[in-house]
């Protein structure tokens, strides 16, 4: 899990959801918003992806673990929201890692 200082607040989550620039892939939608200050992350997994809370939390923990590896390489002042899509529950950790990494490279948020 990411430290609380690296996660988005409820108000920042809403702001990124409304005004963020979206990047799409088969497993997720990445929304990015440039802000002032530190970077922040949030992962959202809907009940459409997995009916059980255990399944949703498993996906969320995997994505947070991947993000944790990249926090030092992401520019400051960027808020990132990752919305997981249906089908992501069937992917392995490595497949999710490749998709998230390609997201970060395509969106240009890495240093």
pLDDT at 84: 96
Burial 51-88 (b: 16+ CB within 10 A, else e): eeeeebeebbebbbebbeebeeebeeebbbbbbbbeeb
Task: Convert the pLDDT of each residue in 50-78 to its tens digit.
Answer: 999 999 999 999 999 999 998 889 888 99
Task: Take residue 9 and report the two structure tokens written for it.
Answer: 């607040």
**Per-residue pLDDT at 36 exceeds 90:** no
β-pairing verdict for 28-34 and 21-24? antiparallel
């Amino acid at each position: 899990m990411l430290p609380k200082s690296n996660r988005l607040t409820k108000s920042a989550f809403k702001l990124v959801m409304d005004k963020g620039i979206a990047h799409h892939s088969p497993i997720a939608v990445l929304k990015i918003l440039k802000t002032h200050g530190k970077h922040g992350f949030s992962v959202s997994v809907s009940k459409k992806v997995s009916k059980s809370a255990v399944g949703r939390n498993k996906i969320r923990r995997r994505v947070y673990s991947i993000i944790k590896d990249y926090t030092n390489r992401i520019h400051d002042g960027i808020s990132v929201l990752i919305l997981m899509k249906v089908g992501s529950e069937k992917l392995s950790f490595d497949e999710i890692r490749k998709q998230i990494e390609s997201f970060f490279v395509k969106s240009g948020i890495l240093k």
